[in-house]
Amino acid sequence: MILRLALPQETAALAEVEAGQPRAAGWGKQGLDAEIPQPCSRVFCAEENGQILGFLALRAAGGTAEILNVAVDARHCGRGVGRSLLRHALLELGREGVLHVTLEVAQDNVPACALYAKGGFVRLGTRKNFYGPGRHAWVLGADL
């Protein structure tokens, strides 16, 4: 598996992965096209045999970063792709001097909560109704 920055011409493949995961942020190709050129944006992807297996999008500025969107191809879930993407992103952020990373995750999103907990994230707070009525978010953070 290769972990690297996604290229602007790969947004259709990223969007296809995202479309198969309703709990991802739902940016679609248009959102990804708008995100990748942003100066603070980093969209990392995992590739195997020329196929995009998943991606993790974040923004970094001023020593902090926020993870905004993560999706792994449903056919490749449970084999370490998400963990590898998260580890790679945190390593790259550490290299560029980022000290603190945050994100929001739905409290009932068991796979994502477990992924982040194993990745060293801790609960910083709650955002009530963040994803709609009765659908609360954890605010998670990790120091690098």
Ligand X SMILES: CC(C)(COP(=O)(O)OP(=O)(O)OC[C@H]1O[C@@H](n2cnc3c(N)ncnc32)[C@H](O)[C@@H]1OP(=O)(O)O)[C@@H](O)C(=O)NCCC(=O)NCCS
Q: From the CB of 19, what's the least distance to ligand X, in Å?
A: 11
Residues 58/114/49/23 CA torsion (nearest 10 deg)? -60
For 58, the token pair is: 């974040």
Q: Does 140 bind ligand X (CB under 6 A)?
A: no
Q: Among 79, 127, 128, 135, which residue interacts with ligand X (rule: CB under 6 A)?
A: 79
Q: Does 114 bind ligand X (CB under 6 A)?
A: yes
Q: Does 118 bind ligand X (CB under 6 A)?
A: yes
Which DSSP state fits 90? H
Q: Among 6, 14, 115, 142, which residue interacts with ligand X (rule: CB under 6 A)?
A: 115
Q: Does 80 bind ligand X (CB under 6 A)?
A: yes
Q: From the CB of 86, what's the least distance to ligand X, in Å?
A: 8
3-state secondary structure of 108: coil
Residues 29, 15 contacting (CB under 8 angstroms): yes
What is the DSSP annotation of 14-82? HHHHHHT-TTS---HHHHHHHHTTSTTEEEEEEEETTEEEEEEEEEEETTEEEEEEEEE-GGGTTSSHH
Q: Does 49 bind ligand X (CB under 6 A)?
A: no
**Residue 67 burial (10 A CB sphere; 0-12, 13-18, 19+):** buried
Nearer to ligand X, 98 or 115 (CB): 115
Name the residue number minimizing CB distance to ligand X.
Answer: 82
Q: Among 45, 105, 140, 142, which residue interacts with ligand X (rule: CB under 6 A)?
A: 105
Q: Does 75 bind ligand X (CB under 6 A)?
A: no
Residues forming the site for ligand X (CB under 6 A): 21, 23-24, 70-72, 77-83, 105, 109-112, 114-115, 118
